[in-house]
Amino acid sequence: MTLAYCWSHVRRHFYEIAQGGDAPLAEEALARIGTLFGIERTIRGTSPDQRRAARLAQTTLLIEDLRAWLEAMLAKVSGGSRIARAIRYALKHWAGLTVFLDGGVHWGVIASLIETAKLNAVDPQAYLADVLTRLVNRHPASQIDQLMPWAYAPTNRVA
């Protein structure tokens, strides 16, 4: 399971630095993140397939460039500076920040589980809550089949 992180939170760290005055690195980070936000504005309201295609065509390279730039800038700034902390925050949460690039695939899996639960007379909300709790509590991977909706414990079935 991958936790999705919010670009607005990353942006806020750079914004607060830029508000203090002469901060070219923070301003550059804001411009790069702003470009990502601009792409999202243009694809809002389109189908999941269109959004995914646009993200693959337009956003993926920008994200890769942003990461490389952040890593390069981190090597040039004082380790204890506010800009270094902002950069480290972004890099630390990188996997979660990039989940949106293929988030539609994950939603497809969830939607499939929900519909399969319904077909097997299992309450989808209770099922997902229980299964996610079990996964977080390290349910054995060798026993993952037990968590599929058709094998789910009968005590959790909808009447």
Distance CA 62, CA 97 (A): 13
Write the CB contacts of 17 (distance below 8 Å, at least 6 apart in sequence).
23, 26, 82, 83, 86
The predicted pLDDT at position 114 comes to 87
Domain ranges of the chain: 7-100, 106-156
Long-range CB pairs of 51-55, under 8 A, 24+ apart, other chains included: 51/104, 52/102, 52/104, 52/105, 55/100, 55/101
87 contacts 77 by C-beta, under 8 angstroms: yes
- Is the pTM above the cut of 0.85? no
pLDDT tens track for 77-86: 999 999 999 9
The predicted pLDDT at position 115 comes to 87
Give, for 106, the enclosing helix (H) or strand (E): helix 103-119
The predicted pLDDT at position 156 comes to 47
52 contacts 102 by C-beta, under 8 angstroms: yes
17 contacts 82 by C-beta, under 8 angstroms: yes
**Phi-psi label, residue 5: left if phi above 0, alpha if psi -120 to 50, beta otherwise:** beta
Please, what are the averages of pLDDT over each run of 10 residues along the chain (159 residues)?
84 96 96 97 90 91 97 97 97 92 69 86 89 87 88 58
